[in-house]
Amino acid sequence: MNPFDLTGRVAVVTGANTGIGQAIAVALAEAGADVACVGRTPATETVEQIASLGRRGEIVSADLSTIEPVSRVVDETIDKLGRLDILVNNAGIIRRADAVDFTEEDWDAVVDTNLKSVFFLCQAAGRHMIAQGGGRIINIASMLTFQGGIRVPSYTASKSGIGGLTKLLANEWAKHGVTVNAIAPGYIATNNTAALQADAARNQSILDRIPAARWGDPKDLGGAAVFLASDAAAYVQGHILAVDGGWLAR
């Protein structure tokens, strides 16, 4: 039996319409999972890619800037796909400004989406997973789970919080057969990092530090997600897996 096989399992991936979320949703489908693609924008292209792999993909519309849709995401996934085994909390936003100028609005918007909604979606999925005897939760952390960064105070706070939350939930839910881990992407070429890529000096300084000497592609995260979602990672708990081209090793 292939321990990485996800056939018969159902995953929820938030922010699945583009970038990292899309790549993870497709990778899970390639491994055999059916996928509920959650986001403010319909993940039509992602669902088409999932269907081309012979798996079921469903669009679940939800704006995770508040916790209002959290329970519905779980209920709608189970209604459309029959069960829920895997949750990938990928949806996130970023706001940039010097710390001395940072606004309360930009603080709340980022923390509400990146941390508050993540916790309550973990809670809603966790209740279901505990009741069914197991499941997999994968949070998307960041290099700023480990480092401070610059000009992104609310993002750094939210991603540092994701690291702690991942460990806390693992401590509470491991005994129920629910694994809770995180993936910390390095510098990945997505919409969230477009401003950094467009800044020639900053872009070069980033590349100079990455041992792999390139920006990551969203597809680079697929294997890590499949691993953490699979039986191969049944004894992995509270771990933050960096997929960073060696950034943290430099």
Give catalytic residues, as residue numbers. 155
Residue 88 to residue 84: CA distance in whole angstroms: 11
Asked if 231 and 94 count as a contact pair (C-beta separation under 8 A), the reply is no
Q: Among 207, 192, 230, 175, which Cα is nearest to 91's?
A: 192
CA 34 – CA 37 distance, rounded (Å): 10
Helix (H, G, I), strand (E, B) or coil at 74: helix
What are the φ/ψ torsions at residue 97 (nearest 5 degrees)?
-170, 155
Q: Which of 73, 76, 22, 31 is nearest to 49 (CA)?
A: 22
The DSSP output letter for 247 is G
Listed residue (233, 187, 230) closest to 207, CA to CA: 187
Spatial strand order of the sheet with 240-243 comes to: 57-61, 34-39, 10-14, 86-89, 135-140, 178-185, 240-243
CA distance 203 to 197: 5
